Amino acid sequence: MRYLPLDAADRAQMLARVGAPDIDALFADIPAAKRLNRPLDLPGGMSEIEVERRLTRMAARNVAAGSVPFFLGAGAYRHHVPATVDHLIQRSEFLTSYTPYQPEIAQGTLQVLFEFQTQVAALTGMEVANASMYDGSTACAEAILMAHRLTRRRKAVLSGGLHPQYSDVAATLGGMADEEIVRLPLDPHASEDIAAAIDDETSCVVVQSPDFFGNLRDLEPIAAAAHAKGALLVAVFTEAVSLGAVRSPGEMAADIAVGEGQSIGNALNFGGPYVGLFATRLKNVRQAPGRLAGETVDADGRRSFVLTLSTREQHIRREKATSNICTNSGLCALAFSIHLTLLGEAGLRRLAALNHAAAVDLAGRFGAIPGVDVLTEAFFNEFTIRTPRPAAALIDELAARGIVGGLPVSRLAPNAGLDDLIVVAATETSTPDDRRSYAETLAQLLQTGGKR
């Protein structure tokens, strides 16, 4: 039995109602060059069991991150997530709940969001955090738009150490909002003079630490340079576990802190869903995007929770909204909170120390390989190496030998002249044997030119 809810007569009636001569007319605003003029490259109709067999064969071609030595990071990290996290988020009262449009009757959901916000504010050293964003890259772009509103300026300067995909998202949203986005060249050595790019028209400077190449950055001098020009500092991070070891954005005078929370409580999940973290100073809270849950007391004096601010266009008039990305990541935020609660402050610091130790060990092994240079001097759990052969080919050769060796920079920046760089991450999930195997295999590939 096929599911075909509309026949030709139904479709003709619908087209007549909207005044369109045919279905093609509905797509007239899409440029012809962007439209597919052939059928999708998909097989014909199949039975349910045939579909299951086909998809199972396709899925078997994937390599699970936990099945091989895994050193890929660059914004998405493999960490151990306790089984407790998955068990709790699958409880029906969490799994099936979504945006509290009647917040006063969703006390459990609001408390979860309130606890999440408290944790994010503490991690980032900020006074207030929202109830999560879609992901780290969109949180970064929303921070830029927020800075424009606060300063009444329309120019943002992006560090050359900002993740290229974050820069792309910022440029896309900024372009739609008629903002000026200045992207400094990719900078593996964190040697840029970002202060020189700040002028009286700059609304904010966006700097990532640890940055895309793994460099830890001292944000205080950059914050001082920005503030001297009346601009704001937006501090970005992609590895939330690093906040257990390094100074927080708030301690380094950042005005807005944004980042990706995936590495706490959330698995890689083929690239999502993830959870964007967004925190700021209290004085800026009314220009913060998203939603904020607050604590109060009810008529009987009992502790209760309310939706304090709702600045999304789903809640208020579009022209007054501070954000039009209307999906927060409630379930991923809950997973983040559960994992962080299980860790506690001492546990997070210990986890961060394990990550740093693993990366130091791996960097030391690479440093002993002739022709390999470790470019990153100060790092957390991720750093960049230069290889004497094209990085993308080496990564493919490592994969053929069962090792996911990291990200060739050329994959995200194909025209930047950085084809010999690999960004490598070593978390607590990498074992000494994994790290030894990676270094030995890389040395062998460089010695033999990739031949077996």
Residue 446, classed as helix, strand or coil, is: helix
The stretch 87-93 carries a mean pLDDT of 91
Helix or strand holding residue 450 (H, E) = none
What is the C-alpha to C-alpha distance for residues 222 and 193, in angstroms, rounded to an integer?
9
pLDDT per residue over 324-347, tens digit each?
676 668 899 999 999 999 999 999
Residue 237, classed as helix, strand or coil, is: strand
399-404 contacts at long range (C-beta below 8 A, 24 or more positions apart): 399/63, 401/441, 402/68, 402/69, 403/68, 403/69, 403/71, 403/437, 403/438, 403/441, 404/63, 404/65, 404/68, 404/69, 404/70, 404/71, 404/72
Tokens representing residue 332 in the block: 């991923």
Indicate whether 177 and 281 sit together in one domain: yes
Residue 352 within a domain:
yes
What is the C-alpha to C-alpha distance for residues 259 and 278, in angstroms, rounded to an integer?
7
Binned at pLDDT 50, 70 and 90, residue 359 comes out as very high
Per-residue pLDDT at 144 = 96
**What is the chain's Cα-based Rg?**
24
Indicate whether 261 and 407 sit together in one domain: no
Indicate whether 161 and 208 sit together in one domain: yes
Q: Using the structure block, give the residue that is written with the tokens 């998909």.
A: 42
150-153 contacts at long range (C-beta below 8 A, 24 or more positions apart): 150/203, 150/232, 150/284, 150/287, 151/203, 151/204, 151/230, 151/231, 151/232, 153/201, 153/202, 153/203, 153/230, 153/231
Query: Where does a domain end: 295, 312, 340?
Result: 340
Per-residue pLDDT at 177 = 81
Task: Name every residue whose Cβ is closer than 8 Å to that of residue 145 and which is 6 or more positions away in sequence.
Answer: 173, 174, 177, 179, 289, 322, 323
What is the span of the domain harbouring residue 392? Answer: 65-79+344-448
What is the C-alpha to C-alpha distance for residues 310 and 290, in angstroms, rounded to an integer?
6
Q: What is the pTM of this model?
A: 0.89
Per-residue pLDDT at 283 = 96
Cβ(188)–Cβ(212) below 8 Å: no
Indicate whether 71 and 92 sit together in one domain: no
Residue 275, classed as helix, strand or coil, is: coil
The stretch 131-154 carries a mean pLDDT of 95
The stretch 363-379 carries a mean pLDDT of 97
Sign of CA dihedral 221, 226, 232, 235: negative
Per-residue pLDDT at 338 = 97
Mean pLDDT of the chain: 93
Indicate whether 258 and 306 sit together in one domain: yes
Residue 47 within a domain:
no
Per-residue pLDDT at 101 = 65
CATH number at residue 414: 3.90.1150.10
Residue 307 within a domain:
yes
What phi and psi values does residue 208 have, to the nearest 5 degrees? -105, 140
Binned at pLDDT 50, 70 and 90, residue 105 comes out as confident
Question: What is the domain count for the chain?
Answer: 2
Per-residue pLDDT at 136 = 96
Indicate whether 234 and 303 sit together in one domain: yes
% of the chain surpassing 70 pLDDT? 94
The stretch 355-381 carries a mean pLDDT of 97
Indicate whether 253 and 396 sit together in one domain: no
Cβ(337)–Cβ(112) below 8 Å: yes
pLDDT at 417 over 60: yes
Tokens representing residue 119 in the block: 């944790």
Query: Where does a domain end: 324, 340, 356?
Result: 340
Per-residue pLDDT at 452 = 60
Indicate whether 87 and 228 sit together in one domain: yes
Residue 397 within a domain:
yes
Indicate whether 221 and 291 sit together in one domain: yes
CATH number at residue 243: 3.40.640.10
Per-residue pLDDT at 450 = 63
Per-residue pLDDT at 3 = 65
Query: Where does a domain end: 314, 340, 366?
Result: 340
Task: Name every residue whose Cβ is closer than 8 Å to that of residue 166 and which is 6 or more positions away in sequence.
Answer: 75, 136, 137, 140, 141, 208, 236, 238
pLDDT at 88 over 90: yes
More confident residue, 145 or 176: 145
Indicate whether 277 and 380 sit together in one domain: no
pLDDT at 392 over 70: yes
Report CA-CA distances (Å) from 30 to 20, 25, 172, 261: 15, 10, 18, 35
Residue 356 within a domain:
yes
For 165, what's the count of Cα atoms within 13 Å in the CB-facing half-sphere? 16
Residue 7 within a domain:
no
Binned at pLDDT 50, 70 and 90, residue 92 comes out as confident
Indicate whether 276 and 165 sit together in one domain: yes
Residue 163 within a domain:
yes
Per-residue pLDDT at 44 = 85
pLDDT per residue over 172-194, tens digit each?
988 888 889 999 999 999 999 99
Task: Name every residue whose Cβ is closer than 8 Å to that of residue 202 and which is 6 or more positions away in sequence.
Answer: 153, 155, 156, 157, 226, 229, 231
Indicate whether 320 and 384 sit together in one domain: no
The stretch 392-417 carries a mean pLDDT of 96
| DSSP secondary structure letters along 121-143 | HHHHT-SEE-S-BS-HHHHHHHH
Sign of CA dihedral 208, 209, 212, 216: positive
Residue 228 within a domain:
yes
Give the burial class of 266: count Cβ atoms within 10 A of its Cβ; 0-12 exposed, 13-18 middle, 19 or more buried: buried
pLDDT per residue over 292-325, tens digit each?
999 999 999 999 999 888 766 556 666 777 776 7
Q: Using the structure block, give the residue that is written with the tokens 């501090």.
A: 235
